[in-house]
Structure 1
Amino acid sequence: MDENIWERIREERLSLARMLAPLTAEQWATPSLCAEWTVRDVVAHLAMTPAGEPRPWPMAVALVRARGHLWCAGRDVARDYARRPTAELVASLERSADSRRKPLFVNDANILLDLVVHGQDVAVPLGVDRPVPAAAAAFTLERIWSMGWPFHARRRLAGVRFRAAPETPAGWAAGEGPEVRGTPAALALLMTGRTAAALPMLHGPGVARLADRLDVRREPRAG
């Protein structure tokens, strides 16, 4: 990745730490937009990456215990890491803001995506407005749209035209069909499967088509 993306990663880690610092114990225990993950679990997941966690052996053990189910293994290692004090998790994000360290199986291109989407997973249930900075928004939306597994956004959301609010350089857009407009945060949530949370934030003639087609009862899994 280029230096600009690493700078966006740094900014997201620092701004997330600022948002988290004043939270109460009750807020840390709030269910996030990721099924079976609390705010604490999500933050632990984000703090693990620049710490180079999980290491291969603990992850292998978790995979065996989860019978090869990658999502369940990831949930379990995040919950284990989340046993740390809240102040330590926040301080870890601050200390590691410039870190380029990561587990062996993490793709560099997904680090910023992870921070942006999981930042919304935490902020939305807490009722906190967390706008996505323009450069981070453009990179994140394009990355999600171009990916296959685990989101398959281009295939799953075919038939509408997405257009981001003017936070993104030149206004990010993708797809063909009736228009669906929204902030980069709302579009990122929709494209990564946070359907029930995202739909009320979207506008345009394509929203009704999406609502009819997508199963809003399905809760997303952390990715």
Structure 2
Amino acid sequence: MDEHTVWRHIGTQRRELADLIEGLDTDPRVWATPSLCEGWTVRDVAAHLTHGTLPLPRMLFEATRSGFRFDAVVDRMARADRSTPTQIASTLRSVADSRRHPPGTSAVEPLIDLLVHGQDLCVPLGIDRPVPADAAVTAAQRVWDMGFPFRARRRYVGRRLVATDADFAVGEGREVAAPIRDLLLLLTGRRVAVAGAG
């Protein structure tokens, strides 16, 4: 997928997620629901979605505060963010077409973030959120190729992961077949029910 198409998908995902977040029930129990992203609530995930386009000086400041430990920076920022759902939605819309992304990452990483965290939000709330197959394939291939932080290739040694609804297949060994949305979640470490994946 060319970079222009990647950014087009990113813009669409941000706008759709802004609408979804704004439309969620304001009951605090909804926002406190555990997400698919281990250790984070639905609110934490929603807040995190606004952090990928922060200016570099702010990112460096936050990284310094957490000793330049990637996971610690991301986790602390998500938990500490007190933005309301309306503010989160507004921020997502305001950065929908931004092409800023964290140093050392490609244009595909923001796409991975949006596709996966969209499911992190929706699945626990019983919301069926389809993903565009071409975007999911690009995201899944990048996750497979990149190593850190997902290490998918190592976790699925001896498995061949095959999408049943898209042109995607990686790995060697016993075949695990599932929709591309589920494979993307598997590759990024989410617990999803896919036969033979364990």
Q: Post-superposition shift, 1:69?
A: 4.0
Pick aligned residue for 1:36 from 29, 34, 39: 39
Q: How does 1:143-154 map to 2 (within 5 A)?
A: 143-154=142-153
3-state DSSP of counterpart to 1:50:
coil
3-state DSSP of counterpart to 2:177:
strand
Match of 1:174 in 2: 170
1:33-61 deviations in Å (ceiling 9; x for gaps): 12221111111111121243743113311
Corresponding pairs, count: 194
State TM-score, norm by structure 1. Answer: 0.80
Match of 1:3 in 2: 4
3-state DSSP of counterpart to 1:11:
helix
1:138-190 deviations in Å (ceiling 9; x for gaps): 11111111111111111210112111122x3xx21111222211122211111
Q: Does 1:21 align with 2:25?
A: no
Match of 2:50 in 1: 47
Q: How does 1:1-223 map to 2 (within 5 A)?
A: 2-24=3-25, 25=27, 26-52=29-55, 54-61=58-65, 63-64=66-67, 69-80=69-80, 82-104=81-103, 106-166=105-165, 168=166, 171-194=167-190, 197-198=191-192, 200=193, 202-203=194-195, 207=196, 210-211=197-198
Q: CA RMSD in A?
A: 1.9
Same amino acid, percent of matched pairs: 40
Structure 2: which 5+ runs fail to align? none
Match of 1:221 in 2: none
Q: Post-superposition shift, 1:104?
A: 3.7
Structure 1: which 5+ runs fail to align? 212-223
Q: Is the 8 A contact 1:56 1:104 kept in 2?
A: no
Q: Is the 8 A contact 2:6 2:107 kept in 1?
A: no
Q: Is the 8 A contact 1:59 1:77 kept in 2?
A: no
